[in-house]
Amino acid sequence: MRFLKVLAVFFLLLPGIMELGYARYSDKIEGTQPSPLTSRLGDEVYFISIFVPTSSLAEIKCVGEGDVVMMDRFSRKAVFYEEFSGKLALRFQFPHEGDYILYSENPQMGTTCVVRLRKNAPSHAVQRGMYAVGILSGLVLFGLLLWGKRT
């Protein structure tokens, strides 16, 4: 019985411990170097590949002209699309961990971009798991408390 109580308390505290781990990790800022999306003559198109470790708030800054697209490498779905001329400075949310590709459609010569991860957060699946563990262990502890009072 005592082991069950200790186990339930551990699982009740586990989401808080996990959240503290993410708090330390969330301020770690990663990013890419300023990279050209076109050659100097504008006849070749390049792309920027970036790995995102978790759901993250990102900042993108571009100089030049064209349509900038951020695409999930594996699902081939665009997660960000913006047409710009001159300068572009936006924030957007990467939906999940994975590899992403930034490229430009209809670029003009000299288009350059930088991507920075500003705030990392646990994915929605991890958040739901943490909340479920906390709620279930709280219910188990509440049940043990009621059962202990009756006996």
Q: Name, in order, each residue with C-beta under 8 angstroms of 53's C-beta and a sequence gap of 6 or more.
A: 97, 120
| pLDDT of the residue at 71 | 92
The alpha-helical segments, DSSP class H, found in the chain are 2-26, 124-150
* 28 membership: H or E segment, kind and range: none
| pLDDT of the residue at 10 | 77
| pLDDT of the residue at 29 | 61
Ranges of residues in the chain with a pLDDT under 70 are: 1, 21-31, 38-43, 107, 109, 123, 151
Residue type, 5: K
**C-alpha to C-alpha distance for 14 and 25, rounded to whole angstroms:** 17
- 90 within 8 A of 59, measured Cβ to Cβ: yes
How many residues can be counted in the chain?
151
**This prediction's pTM:** 0.64
- 98 within 8 A of 73, measured Cβ to Cβ: yes
With the CA atoms of 105, 110, 114 and 115 taken in that order, what torsion angle do they form, in degrees rounded to the nearest 10? 0
Walk me through the domains of the chain, giving residue ranges and CATH numbers.
2-150 (2.60.120)
| pLDDT of the residue at 41 | 64
Three-state secondary-structure class, residue 111: coil
Burial of 100: CB neighbours in 10 Å, binned 0-12, 13-18, 19+:
buried
Give the residue carrying structure tokens 């792309």: 47
